[in-house]
Chain A
Amino acid sequence: MKGSIVKICGPTVHTDLQGLRLYERVTVKKLTGEVVRLHSKGAVIQVYEDTRGLGIGDEVESLDIPLSVTLGPGMLSSIYDGLQRPLETLQEKTGPFIKTVDVTEVFEIFKFDKPFEFIPNKNIGDTITKGEILGKIKEGNFYHYIYSSKDIDSKIKSIITENITQDTSLITFENGETIKAYQSWPVRIPRPFKKKISTYEPLITGQRNIDFLFSLAKGGTAIIPGGFGTGKTILEQSIAKFADVDIVIYVGCGERGNEMAELLEEFRELKDQKTNKPLLERTVLVVNTSNMPVAAREASIFTAVTIAEYYRDNGYDVLLLADSISRWAEALREISTSLEEMPGEEGYPTYLVSRLAAYTERAGVTDCINGLSGSLTMILSVSPPGGDFTEPVTQALLRNTGVFLMLDTGLAHRRHFPAINWFQSYSLYQENLDDFFCEHFSNNWKTIRNRCREILKKEETLREVAEIVGISGMQDSDRLLLQTAEKIRTKFLAQNAYSEDAYSHPNETIKIIENILNEHEKILEKLTQGLSLNEAFKEKRANDLKTEKAGENKDETK
């Protein structure tokens, strides 16, 4: 089916081609596009590439398939653009600059050192049922499980186990039906599962702020809103490095090219603690930087979440990090504006809220069709204009997310990183996760956290008092509290991403805070015995020296 362009406006073109379907993929003079609106005289298409050079009369052709990704072994360690084109291959084709490529160009989407092998569970002559695992393919440390998403009423006629490619039919049935290793999936449709389950297991991030104060559940969602330079990207990247998950999908959505290059370089070198393999081998990058076409930026987060769901369906704990979801919303706004839709708040289309809700709904712990269970956790950064959290994107996300990590410009200016505001941030998963932390790391996890919160809260009140009476006019116990609070902030909450401290195991996390609080209690006790704050500290220092000496002596005798 062919038609032509009748109007061009920003990233969208209007065509007179009739009979198209919504969200269908089309080509516009050799460029990829997607149908976003239908009307009686034709359709509107969002074009995924630079529209400069397009003119009236240029051809529009229906492809009769929705915008999809291809899923299967060989995606790990790839860097894709928003339409799943591998950027490394694109570089071979067009050099260091991205130039428009013909849609007819074929890309090898999947990476492999040697051809994949299929390890079947089934034999020739067997029958199968829907969802039953028929075999697996190994990619690095991971398995792709092969199953049929529907019943097939026939017997297996042949099985191919070697040199698996995109077109290979792994299993062929007598009635001609086949099962392949690779499948295509429309990005805007969530992949099906048997059911969502509510389990409460934390996703350990290695970030003390998160694990201890605002813990994240596997299958949960977190947002990180913050003005520029408050540490959103560094925090997302640190989590991507250390999070206790199997697979990481990182979407660079409308942000800097250099950050992606850096991530790529670092992830090639850094080792995964569990497997001792390069981090990149558990990672897929989806990248549509700020200077790449806006419509493809809009698609990028859907491409990423579909890949994430696919790994979830293979029974893995998957973490999707997006930096930044605001740039996605802006792309949506740009497209909506060019469609002359009625604008809602701050020019965003009124469906912003429902789109975001539907997106975050794709997270969760699920029992998959193949009997495996996996999880998909989301951490999304938000870039509020002017650092103002009342803006529509932050507000829309607040309704649907479990963890809110508010980054504070004041803290960032003081170089307190991660600049997570400990008063404003929250986790809705906390209560359900406490048991896990108490059981696995420390019985006192919850009490210590409450005590820590209390001290930080008290500090705030005392600072106000100090502003009136001056520090010198305060009671010793209050001055002690201020000192302890400072210790909590500088030695516990602050966690430098460029140091050894970048990762903190929960055992270590609880130890640090426990020590700070124990010391506080000890000195407080001395104060109640009548010592002054100075005396109490002096005595404590002397004691510390003693125990240190004792320790050294012990070492010598060994």
Chain B
Amino acid sequence: MRLSEHKYNSISAITGQLVFVENLIEAKIGEMAVIISPDKRYIEAEILEINNNTALLQVYGSTQGLDIKHTKVILQDSLKEIPLSREMLGRKFNGSFNPIDDLPMFFSGNWRQITGYPINPSARANPSEFIETGVSAIDGMNTLVKGQKLPIFSCAGLPSKELVTLILRNVRLSKNEKEFAVIFTALGITHNEYSYYIKALEKMQADYMAIINFADDPVMERLLAPRIALSAAEYLAFEENMDVLTIITDMSNYCEALREISTAREELQGRRGYPGYMYSDLAFLYERAGRIQNIEGSLTLLPVLTMPEDDITHPIPDLTGYITEGQIVLSREMHSNDIFPPIDVLPCLSRLMQKGIGEGQTRKEHRQISNRLYRHYAQGREHRKLEAIVGRDGMSEKDRLYLDFAFTFEKEFINQGMNSRGIDQTLDLALELMNRFNLD
């Protein structure tokens, strides 16, 4: 602890979200600071880099109106921490964890660093409990389990928020009494989208907490919001033993903010201008999901991202896919064929599915049903390409059957509108479809 307040008015440069302060007596990496603008605004900042007695600070609020002469910087002598308590539930906060629901901030003696600590791999428990999302393409073919991190890869303009709503409607995570909460995190959403989501959250029969960064809020708060959300989620899951579902939308906005800061720091750019450390940075967030031995609670993570130019090889979806335990991929083509949810199951994956299905969880034949669906549908899709070249008439009867199966599978199995389906309903439908076409 420092005995006196360290206050400086020795700013040497300001560029975008970055501020350089000189002549520091003492400073630590990650240390928080408050910047006081000439018009007496208090803005949070964090030390990113120190060189001799100069520090580079990243500012979390708007830097507009800052100047070199009058702006002051107070170093806080602590890393970014937030208070945590059950009282967070039912509340709405902004990206700096200030309430935006006109209620006073809650009090708590529990303060935690927002960056968290890595879970010791040897302390992890295997996520293996089935979660019913009510979505056939997920439950039947890419099953989600408690403690998994499973992102939704969307494209601009596709109904990802409707899909999230459909999931929220059904998902309770546990059949038993265990407490369940949703932590909803929005990065750069419009006020319209906000009211849409809040309506869906209100309708849910569960507690929730919302962290909202609007499109017109400071961009840098997009870097804080997911960390705050995950700290809250970790607290509820691993200290209060709750089943927590964390939704973060849209992670692409997070990555943009990361790129912005990196560019301002004149760092070496990686692919498409994103920093080389983006993989590690995202991993620090996503790896916070999971389960821990001898702890009841679970932290399930459902991030939503938009693939720039619908391109799955773009660094944002690419690095995400390398970290997460699968992905649910939306397709523009499905959407234009009026399929909802417009999920293309071929590039989808749930890496933890094997553990969450089968006897005792869903149904003994679940794996086999899913494998067969995949095989037939993939075959049908192959034939669709062939059809485009040789035409339907040039194909054998069997091939045409596959074509029809793929079509019907999309129309009847994937397409379900806003109606949730139970897992039995999903699996029965799959069996009925395959019997109808008699493909095996």
- A2 interface contact, C-beta 8 A: no
Q: Is the CB of A291 within 8 A of B118?
A: yes
Q: Give the residues in chain B near A95, CB-CB below 8 Å.
A: 120, 123
- CB of B310, distance to nearest CB on chain A (Å): 14
Stretch at the interface among A124-132, A380-388, A522-530: A380-388
- A22 interface contact, C-beta 8 A: no
- CB of A364, distance to nearest CB on chain B (Å): 30
- B371 interface contact, C-beta 8 A: yes
Task: Tell whether A6 pairs with B121 under 8 Å between CB atoms, given A290-B280, A337-B268, A385-B315.
Answer: no
Cα(A53)–Cα(B77), bound, Å:
9
Task: Tell whether A386 pairs with B313 under 8 Å between CB atoms, given A96-B238, A228-B322, A415-B378.
Answer: yes
Main secondary structure of the interface of B (DSSP, over half): mixed
Chain B, 287-330, CB within 8 A of any chain A CB: 287-288, 290, 292-293, 295, 313-315, 318-319, 321-323, 325-327
Task: Tell whether A413 pairs with B347 under 8 Å between CB atoms, given A88-B122, A290-B323.
Answer: yes
- A292 interface contact, C-beta 8 A: yes
Cα(A10)–Cα(B29), bound, Å:
9
- B202 interface contact, C-beta 8 A: no
Q: Is the CB of A9 within 8 A of B318?
A: no
- CB of A8, distance to nearest CB on chain B (Å): 5
Instruction: Give the contacting residue for A53; candidates B79, B292, B315, B319; CB below 8 A.
Output: B79
- CB of A465, distance to nearest CB on chain B (Å): 11
Q: Give the residues in chain B near A246, CB-CB below 8 Å.
A: none
Q: Is the CB of A337 within 8 A of B26?
A: no
Q: Is the CB of A257 within 8 A of B276?
A: no
Stretch at the interface among A145-153, A259-267, A533-541: A259-267
Task: Tell whether A98 pairs with B126 under 8 Å between CB atoms, given A9-B49, A51-B29, A337-B268.
Answer: no
Most buried by A among B52, B121, B268: B121
Cα(A455)–Cα(B290), bound, Å:
46
Across the two chains, which residue of chain A brings its CB closest to B285?
A291
Cα(A258)–Cα(B122), bound, Å:
9
- A90 interface contact, C-beta 8 A: yes
Instruction: Give the contacting residue for B283; candidates A88, A290, A337, A471; CB below 8 A.
Output: A290
Instruction: Give the contacting residue for B50; candidates A7, A466, A468; CB below 8 A.
Output: A7
- A434 interface contact, C-beta 8 A: no
Q: Give the residues in chain B near A261, CB-CB below 8 Å.
A: 121-122, 124-126
Task: Tell whether A415 pairs with B371 under 8 Å between CB atoms, given A52-B79, A290-B287, A333-B276.
Answer: yes
Q: Is the CB of A90 within 8 A of B120?
A: yes
Cα(A391)–Cα(B265), bound, Å:
26
Instruction: Give the contacting residue for B322; candidates A292, A383, A469; CB below 8 A.
Output: A383
Cα(A292)–Cα(B120), bound, Å:
9
Q: Give the residues in chain A near B371, CB-CB below 8 Å.
A: 415
Cα(A514)–Cα(B242), bound, Å:
56
Chain B, 358-402, CB within 8 A of any chain A CB: 367, 371, 374-375, 378, 382, 386, 389-390, 394-396, 399
Q: Is the CB of A96 within 8 A of B292?
A: yes
Instruction: Give the contacting residue for B396; candidates A91, A97, A472; CB below 8 A.
Output: A472
- CB of A88, distance to nearest CB on chain B (Å): 5
Q: Is the CB of A385 within 8 A of B346?
A: no
- B71 interface contact, C-beta 8 A: no
- B188 interface contact, C-beta 8 A: no
Stretch at the interface among A54-62, A202-210, A442-450, A544-552: A54-62
Instruction: Give the contacting residue for B121; candidates A87, A228, A473; CB below 8 A.
Output: A87
Cα(A90)–Cα(B118), bound, Å:
12
Q: Is the CB of B121 within 8 A of A287?
A: yes
Q: Give the residues in chain A near B436, CB-CB below 8 Å.
A: none
Q: Give the residues in chain A near B276, CB-CB below 8 Å.
A: 330, 333-334, 337, 347
- A407 interface contact, C-beta 8 A: no
Q: Is the CB of A334 within 8 A of B277?
A: yes
- A491 interface contact, C-beta 8 A: no
Q: Is the CB of B323 within 8 A of A385?
A: no
Q: Give the residues in chain A near B126, CB-CB below 8 Å.
A: 258, 261-262, 265
Cα(A528)–Cα(B374), bound, Å:
37
- B270 interface contact, C-beta 8 A: yes
- A346 interface contact, C-beta 8 A: yes
Instruction: Give the contacting residue for A54; candidates B28, B314, B375, B382; CB below 8 A.
Output: B28
Cα(A215)–Cα(B5), bound, Å:
67
Q: Give the residues in chain B near A294, CB-CB below 8 Å.
A: 277, 280
- B34 interface contact, C-beta 8 A: no
Task: Tell whether A258 pairs with B124 under 8 Å between CB atoms, given A51-B29, A290-B323.
Answer: yes
- A79 interface contact, C-beta 8 A: yes
Q: Is the CB of B27 within 8 A of A385?
A: no
Cα(A99)–Cα(B117), bound, Å:
7
Residue interface mask B30-65, A partner, CB < 8 A = 1? 110000000000000000011111000000000000
Q: Is the CB of B49 within 8 A of A8?
A: yes
A-B contacts, 29 listed (Cβ < 8 Å) = A8-B50, A51-B29, A53-B28, A53-B79, A56-B52, A79-B122, A95-B123, A96-B123, A96-B293, A97-B123, A256-B287, A257-B118, A261-B121, A261-B126, A287-B121, A289-B287, A290-B323, A291-B119, A330-B280, A334-B276, A334-B277, A346-B271, A385-B313, A386-B313, A388-B313, A413-B378, A467-B389, A468-B389, A470-B394
Instruction: Give me the 10 closest cross-chain CB pairs, A-B, nearest first.
Output: A52-B30, A290-B283, A470-B394, A386-B313, A261-B124, A97-B117, A96-B123, A228-B321, A291-B287, A55-B28
Known: A257-B290, A414-B346. 8 other contacts (CB 8 A): A54-B28, A55-B31, A228-B321, A258-B124, A334-B280, A337-B276, A347-B270, A470-B394
**Residues on B close to A: CB < 8 A?**
24, 26-31, 49-53, 79, 115-127, 147, 238, 267-271, 276-277, 279-280, 283-284, 287-288, 290, 292-293, 295, 313-315, 318-319, 321-323, 325-327, 346-347, 349, 351-352, 354, 367, 371, 374-375, 378, 382, 386, 389-390, 394-396, 399
